[in-house]
Amino acid sequence: MEGLFGRFRLLLAPMAGVSDAAMRCLCAQQGADLAYTEMVSAKGLSFANDKTRHLLDMEPQERWAGVQLFGHEPHTMAAQAAWIEQEMGERLACIDINMGCPACKIVSKGDGSALMKDPMLAADIVSAVRAAVACPVTVKMRRGWSADEGECAPAFAQRMEAAGADAVCVHGRFSTQMYQGSSDRGVIARVKEALSIPVIGNGDVRCGADAVRMRDETGCDAIMIARGAQGNPWIFAEARAALAGMPVPASPTAIERIDMARRHASLLQRREGRVLVRMRKHAMWYVAGLPGAAAARGALNRCVTCEDFDQVFDQLMERATEHGA
C-alpha cells in the first residue's frame, strides 16, 4: 500500500451523486492522482441492479479508480468486492469500505459510520473483503460516532489494521456532526501515530494552504479532497503546487469556470444520454459568485439537456465579459 500512495497522494473523495466519471476525469486532468467512484451498495450489486452497476462505469481515458463499497454483511461485501475486481481488473486501484457516511438513510440500515459503533462487525467485514480480493483494501472512517461517546478513531483504526486493512482514511468529524463545525486534524495525527499502515487525511481541505496544513499537522500519507472539489477541480493543481512549495496557480477566471462547466455537461451527456438532471448541482457550484449567478439559479434548476445548460452558460458568459471577469 505504501507503493500505492507513492503514486497516489492527492485523492478525490467518493461522494454520492457527485464523483461520477465526468467529475473524476476533470479532477484527474487538474492533478488528482486517484479518484473514487460514488459509494456503491454491495446489496444493490448482489441484486444485479443496473443503476448500482452503472456507478462503476468509467470513461475511456480513466486509467484507475478506487471503488467505495458500503454495506454491513461481511459475506455480501466480500462477494461483491470480488466481483468488482473481476470486472474492473487492472483499472481497480483499491476497494474502500465505507465506515464514515453519516447520512440517516445509510446509518439507519447499519451501514456507513454506524459500523463505528460495532468494531467487531467492522473488523469481520474488513477480514472478509481482504480475503476475497488481491487489490488493496482501505477503510474510510470518522473521528467516532458522537462527541458524547468520545473519540474512538485511533482504537478503531487499530482494529481495522489488525483485520487486514491496507490503509485508513480519517475524516475529522464525529458522525453526528454530519458536516457541521470544523474537522479536527488532531485525530488524524493520533491515528497516524497509532498505525503502521498509511493514513489518508480528509476534511476541510478547500485550498492549497489547507493541504499543506493537513500534511504538516498530521503527517498523513495522502490527502483526500471532497467538498472543496465541487465546482472546483482546479483545487488539485493548487494543492499540488502548494505541497511542492511552488507558486500557487491563479484562481480560474469566470470564463474558465463556465468553460469547465460546459466540459462537465458534455462528458455527462456522453455517459448518461440526453437527460442531465444531475448536472444542475454541478452547474450551481461552478458558477457560484459569478455575475448573474443568483438570477440564473432558477433557469439552471429547469435545465434538462446539454443545450439547456449551454443557453444559461451563454448568458452568464455575456455577463462575465461585461464585467471583465
Same domain for 259 and 130: no
Same domain for 208 and 62: yes
* 245-250 mean pLDDT: 95
- Residue 248 in any domain: the answer is no
Q: How many domains does the chain have?
A: 2
Using the predicted structure, report yes or no on whether residue 87 has a pLDDT greater than 60. Answer: yes
Same domain for 120 and 28: yes
Q: In whole angstroms, what is the distance from residue 123 CA to residue 115 CA?
A: 9
Domain boundary among 222, 243, 264: 243
Per-residue pLDDT tens digits for 266-282 = 999 987 777 789 999 99
- Residue 249 in any domain: the answer is no
pLDDT bin (cut points 50, 70, 90) of residue 325 is low
The answer to whether the CB of 153 falls within 8 A of the CB of 187 is yes
* 87-115 mean pLDDT: 96
Same domain for 164 and 63: yes
Using the predicted structure, report yes or no on whether residue 53 has a pLDDT greater than 60. Answer: yes
Same domain for 231 and 125: yes
Per-residue pLDDT tens digits for 191-227 = 999 999 999 999 999 999 999 999 999 999 999 999 9
Question: Comparing 20-34, 44-58, 75-89, 124-138, which segment has the lowest mean pLDDT?
Answer: 44-58
Same domain for 29 and 170: yes
Using the predicted structure, report yes or no on whether residue 4 has a pLDDT greater than 90. Answer: no
pLDDT of residue 48: 84
Per-residue pLDDT tens digits for 40-49 = 999 999 998 8
Same domain for 38 and 109: yes
Same domain for 298 and 187: no
Catalytically active residues, by annotation = 101
| Domain carrying residue 299 | 254-322
* Collapsed DSSP state (helix, strand, coil) of residue 323: coil
Same domain for 160 and 281: no
Same domain for 123 and 18: yes
Q: Which residue, chain included where needed, has cell 469547465?
A: 260
Same domain for 142 and 63: yes
Q: In whole angstroms, what is the distance from residue 183 CA to residue 13 CA?
A: 15
Using the predicted structure, report yes or no on whether residue 3 has a pLDDT greater than 70. Answer: no
Query: Which carries the bigger pLDDT value, residue 50 or residue 308?
Result: 308
Using the predicted structure, report yes or no on whether residue 1 has a pLDDT greater than 50. Answer: no
Q: In whole angstroms, what is the distance from residue 275 CA to residue 171 CA?
A: 34
DSSP string, 93-158: EEEEEEE----HHHHTTT-GGGGGG-HHHHHHHHHHHHHH-SS-EEEEEEEES-TTT---HHHHHH
Q: What is the CATH number of the domain that holds 224?
A: 3.20.20.70
